[in-house]
């Protein structure tokens, strides 16, 4: 093949070397030829003069430029004198372009020691903590202003958010609560049947749904559904300068965007929780009726006798608490997100993960406190 | 000339990174003032300082005699409402139609009745040539239409100050020229003070009364004045290079 890339290193009469390049350097083979050549150049005596000759080049692409850059680097290290005169004009121009890269100017030293990195991480975490505290403080102030009728808030935004966080979530809450109730009944009944106490399944389902499962289930659903949506919405608003625009229009984003969302969630989530309890109880009743021969009347009378109202209240209270978590985390991560598509994605992920972790930790804490208090 | 807007000894930085230092200039009432400079030199950052989104490291921003950062947040908000700002990407609220976007500041800060607001919105949209698009969402508009819609929103409260962040970036030459004409007409009829961040030379020469040129290397202002005069008389090579797109000096003036 006449056009295969090749390179020859020939000593000249005056003691210098001539590096001649031939053929088509766009072929895959060029990489291999280049590597061989670099090895040869590495064995040259320090201080040698090398003339490059590209008259035999038929075609060339980026592979040749990469080779030449490496050659240049090696030459500088070993003090070889390179003479570019014989190379095509285009190669020279592109090499000059590649040379012309200003140092990035970021004001901070590039290399950080291990200790410095740890220190910066600690400072960063502490700042994070401060941001959360400031956000919650601002939110409370904004809520106060809105309650006092002085906030910049549109009723339409609240009702719109209420629809998104309430009725629109009914489908998925119904399905999962029904299944949760059925699972509780099924698992309980299999164990209780051994003791001939199958009827207590009703108490178990009522107690479990009212006090624990309904609130947690709703919380997790809303974290994945609504919290993520808040983070993505506010994140892309931040990326699109919409939040800046609101700020300079004199509409504080905290009042205009965050309060309606948090408020809507805090109004809707307790209702969703109550609804989830009811659907879960229905699920339990279905299992009892179809598989364990407990009539609906027996189930209901057992349930109302043994599960007191306060358990429902505790569940509802958790609904409010989890609404606060989902709303605050979703809005905060969204507004703190960077100005790019990947930053918005990362903010959404963080919103869901942080909300779910916080909900479960908070649930454990409330359960511990209420148990110790004996309610 | 009485200064309507003054930047006094301003130094801007993000954390440890210095953006620009020692910026000082005054803008007269009704003037069209451009902030010029290459990409990444801090033009938009300067604008964000002037409209109160970023706090100066050193120095003051004065609206008339009021120091923007000496005011409490409520006072600052009031000052900001005297400013109309057209952001680079438009920054229209994507969940609202164009008309709702323009109506928002009116609903929040004026005592007009809903019917009056509707008429005002129609007027502002007609001024920027977007009357037929009132009920579209921002995502259904082209780049140029978004910028004009943003301008309509900026005009909603009849601002004393108008700020533009790269108004002609991403527009074809003709739309860009139309926008320039619109800015001129608005200034002439409303008497607003106009501040424009841009690096588009045709725009600069067509509409700017004066401007300041920021330099990315020395991180400060290197020229201030009328662009035509700067082109004709400023001895600084960097100024000439910027205003001539790096072309060598020739006789006569290009505009």
Helix B98-109 and helix B143-154: axis angle, to 10°? 10
Q: Quick one: average pLDDT of B9-13?
A: 92
Instruction: Determine phi and psi for A330, rounding to 5 degrees.
Output: -60, -50
Long-range contacts of A257-260 (CB under 8 A, 24+ apart): A257/A331, A258/A139, A258/A142, A258/A234, A258/A327, A258/A331, A258/A335, A259/A139, A259/A142, A259/A143, A259/A146, A259/A151, A259/A153, A260/A153, A260/A154, A260/A157, A260/A158, A260/A160, A260/A161
Q: Which of A12-21, A138-147, A173-182, B221-230 has the highest mean pLDDT?
A: A173-182
Beta bridge partners of B84: B162
Beta bridge partners of A59: A24
Residue A132's pLDDT is what? 87
* Predicted confidence (pLDDT) at residue B254 exceeds the cutoff of 70: no
Q: Quick one: average pLDDT of B130-151?
A: 90
- Residues B228, B207 contacting (CB under 8 angstroms): no
pLDDT in tens, A154-165: 888 899 999 999
Contacts A–B by Cβ distance under 8 A: 57
DSSP A2: T
Note whether B94 contacts A248, CB cutoff 8 Å: no
Distance CA A206, CA A93 (A): 79
- Residues A25, A60 contacting (CB under 8 angstroms): yes
* Predicted confidence (pLDDT) at residue B249 exceeds the cutoff of 80: no
Across chain A, mean pLDDT equals: 89
pLDDT in tens, B57-75: 999 999 988 899 998 888 8
- Residues A273, A319 contacting (CB under 8 angstroms): yes
Q: Which residue of A has its CA nearest to B88?
A: A241
* Predicted confidence (pLDDT) at residue B245 exceeds the cutoff of 50: yes
pLDDT in tens, A77-119: 888 888 888 888 888 888 888 877 766 655 555 667 888 889 9
Q: Please classify residue B85 by burial: count the beta carbons closer than 10 Å to its beta carbon, then call 0-12 exposed, 13-18 middle and 19+ buried.
A: buried
Nearest chain B Cα distance for residue A139, angstroms: 16
Note whether A250 contacts B52, CB cutoff 8 Å: no
Nearest chain A Cα distance for residue B193, angstroms: 17
Cα–Cα–Cα angle for B156, B162, B164, rounded to 5 degrees: 110
Reduced 3-state DSSP string for chain B: CCEEEEEEEEEEEECCEEEEEEEEEEEECCCEEEEECCCCCCHHHHHHHHCCCCCCCEEEEEECCEECCCCCHHHHHHHHHCEEEEECCECCCCCCCHHHHHHHHHHHHCCCCHHHHHHHHHHHHHHCCCHHHCCCCHHHCCHHHHHHHHHHHHCCCCCCEEEEECCCCCCCHHHHHHHHHHHHHHHHHHCCEEEEECCCHHHHHHHCCEEEEEECCCCEEEEEECHHHHHHHCCCHHHHHHHCCCCCCCCCCCC
Confidence of residue B253 (pLDDT cuts 50, 70, 90): very low
Show the beta-strand stretches assigned E in chain A: 6-11, 17-24, 49-59, 81-86
User: Which among A108, A233, A245 is the nearest to B16, CB-wise?
Assistant: A108
User: Which among B17, B85, B89 is the nearest to A248, CB-wise?
Assistant: B85
**Chain A residues in contact with B91 (beta carbon < 8 A):** 240-242, 244-245
Confidence of residue A2 (pLDDT cuts 50, 70, 90): low
Note whether A241 contacts B109, CB cutoff 8 Å: no
- Residues B200, B168 contacting (CB under 8 angstroms): yes
Nearest chain A Cα distance for residue B254, angstroms: 29
User: Quick one: how far is CA A48 from the chain centroid?
Assistant: 55
Task: Indicate if the alpha-carbon torsion angle B160, B165, B168, B170 is positive or negative.
Answer: negative
Residue with the bigger pLDDT between A275 and A114: it is: A275
Tell me which residue has tokens 């200039």.
B25
**Chain B residues in contact with A138 (beta carbon < 8 A):** none
Q: Which residue of B has its CA nearest to A105?
A: B17
Nearest-CA neighbor of B66 among B55, B75, B57?
A: B75
Q: Quick one: average pLDDT of A49-53?
A: 86
pLDDT in tens, B70-128: 988 888 888 888 999 999 888 999 889 999 999 999 988 888 899 999 999 999 998 88
Q: Which residue of B has its CA nearest to A249?
A: B81
Distance CA B173, CA A94 (A): 31
- Residues A24, A59 contacting (CB under 8 angstroms): yes
Token output for A332: 């905060």
Distance CA A243, CA A249 (A): 10
Q: Please list, in sequence order, all residues whose beta carbon lies within 8 angstroms of the beta carbon of residue A297, skipping any fewer than 6 positions away.
A: none
**Chain B residues in contact with A107 (beta carbon < 8 A):** 15-18
Nearest chain B Cα distance for residue A367, angstroms: 40
Nearest chain B Cα distance for residue A43, angstroms: 42
Tell me which residue has tokens 């050659």.
A71
CA dihedral A269, A272, A276, A278 (to 10 degrees): 130
Token output for A37: 């050549």
CA dihedral A310, A311, A314, A319 (to 10 degrees): -130
Residue B1's pLDDT is what? 62
CB atoms within 10 A of CB A163: 13
Distance CA A344, CA A231 (A): 8
Token output for A254: 């905290």
Residue A108's pLDDT is what? 55
The ipTM of this complex is 0.82
User: Which among A154, A241, A249 is the nearest to B89, CB-wise?
Assistant: A241
Collapsing DSSP states into helix, strand and coil, what is residue A178?
Answer: helix
Tell me which residue has tokens 């007609």.
B126
Nearest chain A Cα distance for residue B176, angstroms: 21
Helix H or strand E encompassing A108:
none
Instruction: Determine phi and psi for A8, rounding to 5 degrees.
Output: -130, 140
Token output for A44: 């040259």
Q: Which residue of A has its CA nearest to B52?
A: A248
Percent of chain A whose predicted confidence (pLDDT) is above 70: 97
Note whether A249 contacts B80, CB cutoff 8 Å: yes
CB atoms within 10 A of CB B36: 27
Note whether B91 contacts A152, CB cutoff 8 Å: no
**Chain B residues in contact with A236 (beta carbon < 8 A):** 94
Contact residues of B toward A, CB < 8 A: 15-18, 48, 51-53, 77-78, 80-81, 83, 85, 87-89, 91-95, 104-105, 107-109
Across chain B, mean pLDDT equals: 88
Nearest chain B Cα distance for residue A129, angstroms: 19
Note whether B52 contacts A241, CB cutoff 8 Å: no
Q: Quick one: average pLDDT of A308-318?
A: 94
Residue A338's pLDDT is what? 83
Nearest-CA neighbor of A280 among A185, A161, A147, A152?
A: A185
């Amino acid at each position: 093949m006449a056009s295969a890339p090749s390179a020859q290193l020939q000593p000249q009469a005056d003691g210098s070397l001539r590096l001649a390049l031939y053929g088509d350097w766009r072929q895959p083979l060029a990489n291999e030829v280049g590597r061989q050549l670099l090895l040869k150049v590495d064995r040259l005596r320090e201080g040698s003069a090398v003339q490059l000759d590209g008259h035999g080049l038929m075609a060339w692409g980026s592979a040749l430029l990469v080779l030449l850059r490496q050659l240049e680097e090696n030459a500088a290290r070993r003090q070889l004198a390179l003479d570019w005169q014989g190379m095509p004009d285009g190669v020279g121009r592109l090499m000059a372009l590649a040379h012309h890269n200003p140092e990035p100017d970021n004001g901070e030293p590039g290399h950080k020691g291990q200790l410095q990195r740890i220190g910066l991480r600690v400072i960063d975490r502490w700042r994070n903590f401060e941001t959360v505290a400031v956000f919650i403080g601002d939110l409370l102030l904004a809520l106060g202003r809105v309650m006092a009728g002085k906030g910049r808030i549109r009723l339409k935004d609240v009702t719109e958010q209420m629809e998104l966080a309430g009725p629109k979530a009914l489908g998925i809450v119904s399905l999962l609560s029904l299944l949760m109730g059925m699972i509780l009944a099924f698992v309980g009944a299999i164990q209780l049947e051994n003791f001939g106490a199958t009827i207590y399944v009703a108490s178990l389902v009522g107690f479990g749904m009212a006090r624990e499962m309904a609130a947690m289930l709703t919380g997790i659903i809303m974290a994945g559904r609504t919290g993520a949506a808040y983070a993505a919405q506010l994140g892309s608003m931040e990326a699109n300068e919409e939040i800046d625009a609101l700020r300079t229009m004199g509409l504080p984003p905290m009042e205009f965007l965050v309060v309606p969302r948090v408020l809507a969630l805090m109004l809707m989530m307790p209702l969703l929780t109550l609804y989830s309890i009811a659907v879960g109880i229905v699920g339990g009743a279905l299992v009892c009726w179809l598989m364990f021969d407990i009539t609906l009347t027996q189930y209901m009378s057992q349930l109302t006798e043994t599960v007191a109202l306060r358990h429902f209240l505790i569940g509802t209270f958790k609904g409010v608490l989890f609404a606060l978590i989902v709303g605050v985390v979703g809005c905060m991560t969204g507004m703190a997100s960077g100005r790019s598509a990947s930053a918005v994605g990362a903010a959404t992920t963080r919103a869901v993960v942080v909300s779910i972790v916080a909900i479960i930790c908070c649930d454990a804490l409330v359960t511990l406190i209420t148990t110790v208090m004996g309610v | 000339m009485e200064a309507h807007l003054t930047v006094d000894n301003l130094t801007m930085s993000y954390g440890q990174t210095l953006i620009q230092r020692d910026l000082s200039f005054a803008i007269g009432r009704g003037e069209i003032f451009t902030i010029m400079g290459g990409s990444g030199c801090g033009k938009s950052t300067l604008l964000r300082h002037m409209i109160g989104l970023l706090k100066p490291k050193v120095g003051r921003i004065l609206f008339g005699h009021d120091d923007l950062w000496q005011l409490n947040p409520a006072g600052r908000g009031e000052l900001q409402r005297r400013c109309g700002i057209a952001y680079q990407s438009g920054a229209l609220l994507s969940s609202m139609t164009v008309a709702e976007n323009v109506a928002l500041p009116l609903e929040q800060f004026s005592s007009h009745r809903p019917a009056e607001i509707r008429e005002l919105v129609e007027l502002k949209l007609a001024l920027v040539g977007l009357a037929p698009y009132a009920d579209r969402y921002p995502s259904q508009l082209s780049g140029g239409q978004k910028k004009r819609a943003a301008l309509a929103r900026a005009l909603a409260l009849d601002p004393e100050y108008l700020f533009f962040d790269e108004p002609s970036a991403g527009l074809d030459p003709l739309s860009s020229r139309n926008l320039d004409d619109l800015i001129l007409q608005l200034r002439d009829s409303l008497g607003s003070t106009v501040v424009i961040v841009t690096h588009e030379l045709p725009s600069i020469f067509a509409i700017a009364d004066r401007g300041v040129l920021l330099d990315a290397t020395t991180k400060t202002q290197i020229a201030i004045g009328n662009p035509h005069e700067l082109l004709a008389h400023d001895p600084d090579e960097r100024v000439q290079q910027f205003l001539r797109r790096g072309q060598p000096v020739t006789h006569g003036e290009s505009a």
